Amino acid sequence: MVFGFFKGEFIDVISWLDDTRDTMVWRFERHDNAIKYGAKLTVREGQAAVFINEGQLADVFGPGLYELQTNNMPIMTTLQHWDHLFQSPFKCEIYFVNTTRFNDLKWGTQNPIMCRDPEFGPVRIRAFGTYSMRVTDPGVFLKEIVGTDGEFTSDEVTNQIRNIILQQMSQVLAKSGIPVLDMAANTMDLAKIVSTAIAPQIAAYGLALPEFYIENVSLPDEVEKVLDKRTSMGIAGDLNKYMQFNAAESMAQPGSAMGATMGAAMGAGMGFGMGANAGPWGANAAPPPPPPPAARVWHVADNGATKGPFSDADLATMAASGALTRTTQVWTPGQDAWKAAADTELARLFAMVPPPPPPPGQ
């Protein structure tokens, strides 16, 4: 930082060079020296000079080279009750304000934000990103934030900015209704909503956020692990086929432990099969008996409706109770039409059923 003055004399050169990259406000040190009438004020691009007279905000100068006189300091002239012929040295405080952008400032949710997701229900999510900041109204910024600090850095205001961001971010995420899995595709829209919502609060401090980014929205670690498992199951598809594929792939790897184990198991199985089929002299054993035929089922016609299917045992019980008679119409798969029970294989059931009893009195 460079300032021009000669100790014990009037100050005639006022300027500021900053190489710290984080200083937002710097107070020009007068060391109790008065400022010479007609002194040179240099305000570089990205700076503003604010004059404070006895604690009151006076004139604000943008970039340029100025010769301090009554004609370009109207507020100071009014506060000091100067006339147009005033040419005496004067005292006031001068603050240089950095109006360039302060970039790559970080923000993030210290605590998770509770949201209601349409798919997962209540979930806790986190978010973080970056933003840039710059002073738009040096006078307001000096009054609302800086006060009487001789030097003010960006770190002293970023905490307050982050609190404002997180407050609005919590409300926006909770009310958005966007599913958690779709938030990554909507971070740009969410960032615009948050930036618009906080703009009035930031402007009240004489600041603006030219850029605001949401870099990531994430779930808690334990929820992400469950989601990863669910995704893996979806990718695997049929688990049986997936396991068979893994086993086959392992067997294809030369020298792999899985391949050796599977090979040994297959070899043992083949040896057991050959041993079981070989007789004492190497002859093949008799083939196993064929499986029993499937049981026949029957359908019964009853007043124009079809009942069943019934097994042979079911029809035997019905024949014994009289629910199935010789004239009952029945059908079974392979039969070309409905037939009376006595004209089918069921005729055997009626051989065990006694005929109707004789009438009374006989």
Find the CATH number of the domain harbouring 342.
Answer: 3.30.1490
Q: What is the DSSP letter of 248?
A: H
**H-helix segments, 287-327:** 312-321
Quick check: is 326 in a domain?
yes
Residue where a domain stops, chosen among 196, 219, 242? 219
Any domain includes 275:
no
Expressed as residue numbers, the domain containing 55 is 11-97
Task: Say if residue 121 is in the same domain as residue 196.
Answer: yes
- pLDDT for 102 equals 95
Residues 117 and 189 in one domain: yes
* Residue 3 · residue 14 · CB < 8 Å: yes
Peptide bond into 74 cis (omega under 30): no
Do 139 and 156 lie in one domain? The reply is yes
The rounded Cα 30 to chain-centroid distance in angstroms is: 54
- Give the mean pLDDT of the chain: 82
Asked if residue 35 lies in contact with residue 59, where contact means CB atoms within 8 angstroms, the answer is: no
- 320 neighbors 348 (Cβ within 8 angstroms): no
Q: 135: pLDDT confidence band, cut at 50, 70 and 90? A: very high
Q: Residue 267 — pLDDT band, cuts 50, 70, 90?
A: low
Let me know whether 83 and 184 are in one domain: no
In a shared domain, residues 119 and 40? no
**Residue-wise pLDDT tens digits, 308-351:** 888 888 888 888 888 888 889 988 988 888 899 888 888 888 87
pLDDT value of residue 263: 54
Which range (149-163, 184-198, 257-271, 295-309) has the least confidence? Answer: 257-271
Measured between its terminal Cα atoms, the distance across the chain in Å is: 139
Specify if 269 maps to a domain.
no
Query: Could you give the CA distance from residue 331 to residue 36 in angstroms, rounded to a whole number?
Result: 123
Is there a single domain that holds both residue 90 and residue 109? no
The verdict on residue 305 lying in a domain is: yes
Domain count along the chain = 3
Last residue of a domain, one of 193, 219, 245: 219
Least Cα distance to 103 among 157, 163, 22, 25 occurs for: 22
The CA-atom distances, in angstroms, between 179 and each of 172, 205, 360 are 13, 35, 84
Statement to judge: residues 71 and 176 lie in one domain? no
- Six-digit token pair at 145? 């934030």
- What local confidence, expressed as pLDDT, does residue 6 receive? 43
Q: Which of 156, 189, 219 finishes a domain?
A: 219
DSSP 275-295: HHHB-TTSPBPPPPPPPPPPP
Shared domain check, 110 and 196:
yes
CATH number for position 148: 3.30.479.30
What pLDDT is recorded for position 43?
A: 96
Would residue 109 count as lying in a domain? Answer: yes
Based on the fold, state whether residues 117 and 168 are members of the same structural domain: yes
CA distance 290 to 230: 45
The whole-angstrom separation of Cα 33 and Cα 35 is 7
Output phi, psi for 87, to 5 deg.
-140, 20
Q: For the chain, what's the residue count? A: 362
Q: Which of 128, 85, 88, 125 is nearest to 108 (CA)?
A: 128
Distance CA 266, CA 102 (A): 69
91 and 111 in a single domain? The answer is: no
Contact 158, 209 (CB under 8 A): no
For the whole model, what pTM was predicted? 0.58
